[in-house]
Amino acid sequence: MIKRVKRIKNEELLNQFLLKLIMVIGKVIQFRRGKHTVKERHFLIEIPNLKNRKDAEKFVGKEVEWKSPAGKIIKGKISGAHGNNGVVRAIFEKGLPGQAVTTGVDIK
52 falls within a domain: yes
8 falls within a domain: no
Tell me the CATH number at 87.
2.40.10.190
3 falls within a domain: no
pLDDT at 90: 93
Share of the chain above pLDDT 90, in %: 24
- Residue 82 contacts residue 44 (beta carbons within 8 Å): yes
- Residue 53 contacts residue 86 (beta carbons within 8 Å): yes
17 falls within a domain: no
pLDDT tens figures, 47-76: 888 888 998 888 899 999 999 888 899 999
Instruction: Name the residue range of residue 40's domain.
Output: 22-107
User: Model pTM?
Assistant: 0.73
Question: What total number of domains does the chain contain?
Answer: 1
6 falls within a domain: no
CA geometry: angle 4, 7, 11, nearest 5 deg: 140
